[in-house]
């Protein structure tokens, strides 16, 4: 049987969502996947009285999130031989998981369902503070001191809509050679001192959202025209884009199927 679970987490204490390997061996570093697999395996062994202590239930994530990135809508699937009572399983799993990881839903899915390959779109949100002085309640959010022109930022984001080669916005760590993505929507707004950027696409390259935000700040900080975003996009050259901004403030909101 295959189950899909919705996972929420605060990423600051983890080396990303995915278990990491070096020379074919798992690296002993805390990850969301590692904690989730450990908790699922512990729960199922206890519930089903499984004697094999080395058995670990493998999970597949809808996509990778980096160190410091949060999620309220990560989707993960795993297989098990026995049926699961969702309400009981969710409660018990949350009792086992660390305090900065939780599950909010679980359902049985078809065997052909794949958390990553079946996904049709991902929705990310980036939030930063636009204020000169710090505030004790800003937390880990990045603070931008210069004034932001929301209208210009929106015009710049509009150039990203549709299907494009996003080579200019990928980091060198991108494993997938495909650089073409389809951006369904890209919007920004200001709520008090917070600037909120929402981007929905079929897929995202490694650090793509954070580099898009960095390019927006390049435009704003140097008073460039919104068309500069188009020039960066068409260049297909990472050196033309802005910096990759802090992961704090980036959240995976939703994955649709």
Sign of the alpha-carbon dihedral angle for 121, 98, 16, 128: positive
Sequence-ordered list of residues with C-beta below 8 angstroms from that of 105, at least 6 positions apart, any chain: 5, 6, 86, 90
Sequence-ordered list of residues with C-beta below 8 angstroms from that of 61, at least 6 positions apart, any chain: 17, 18, 32, 33, 74, 75, 76, 115, 116
Sign of the alpha-carbon dihedral angle for 210, 7, 13, 34: negative
CB 69 within 8 A of CB 253: no
Given the residues 66, 147, 165, 237, select the one marked as catalytic.
66
Whether 66 is a known active-site residue: answer yes
Question: 123 by DSSP, 3-state: which?
Answer: strand
**Listed residue (41, 69, 76) closest to 55, CA to CA:** 41
CA 96, distance to chain mean position in Å, is 23
What are 158's two structure tokens? 């509009």
CB 118 within 8 A of CB 7: no
Radius of gyration of the CA atoms of the chain, in A: 20
**Listed residue (220, 207, 204, 201) closest to 154, CA to CA:** 220
Phi-psi group of 249: left, alpha or beta (phi > 0 → left; psi -120 to 50 → alpha; rest → beta):
left
**Listed residue (3, 7, 115) closest to 61, CA to CA:** 115
Under DSSP, the state recorded for 238 is G
Active site residues: 66
């Amino acid at each position: 049987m295959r189950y899909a679970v919705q996972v929420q987490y605060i990423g600051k204490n983890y080396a990303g969502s995915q278990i990491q390997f070096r020379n074919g061996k798992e690296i002993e570093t805390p990850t969301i996947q590692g904690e989730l697999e450990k908790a699922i395996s512990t729960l199922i062994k206890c519930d089903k009285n499984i004697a094999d202590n080395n058995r670990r239930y493998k999970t597949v994530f809808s996509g990778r999130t980096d160190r410091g990135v949060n999620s309220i809508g990560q989707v993960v699937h795993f297989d098990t031989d026995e049926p699961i009572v969702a309400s009981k399983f969710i409660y018990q799993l949350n009792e086992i998981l660390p305090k900065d990881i939780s599950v909010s839903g679980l359902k049985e899915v078809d065997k052909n369902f794949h958390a990553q390959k079946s996904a049709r779109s991902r929705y990310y949100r980036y939030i930063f503070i636009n204020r000169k002085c710090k505030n004790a309640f800003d937390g880990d959010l990045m603070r931008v001191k210069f004034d932001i022109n929301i209208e210009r930022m929106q015009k710049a984001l509009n150039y990203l809509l549709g299907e494009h080669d996003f080579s200019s916005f990928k980091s060198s760590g991108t494993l997938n050679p495909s650089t073409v993505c389809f951006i369904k929507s890209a919007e920004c707004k200001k709520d008090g001192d917070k600037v909120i950027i929402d981007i929905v696409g079929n897929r995202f390259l490694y650090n793509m959202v954070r580099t898009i935000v960095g390019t927006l700040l390049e435009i704003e900080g140097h008073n460039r025209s919104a068309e500069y975003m188009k020039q960066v996009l068409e260049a297909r050259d990472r050196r033309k884009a802005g910096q990759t901004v802090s992961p704090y403030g980036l959240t995976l909101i939703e994955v649709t199927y």
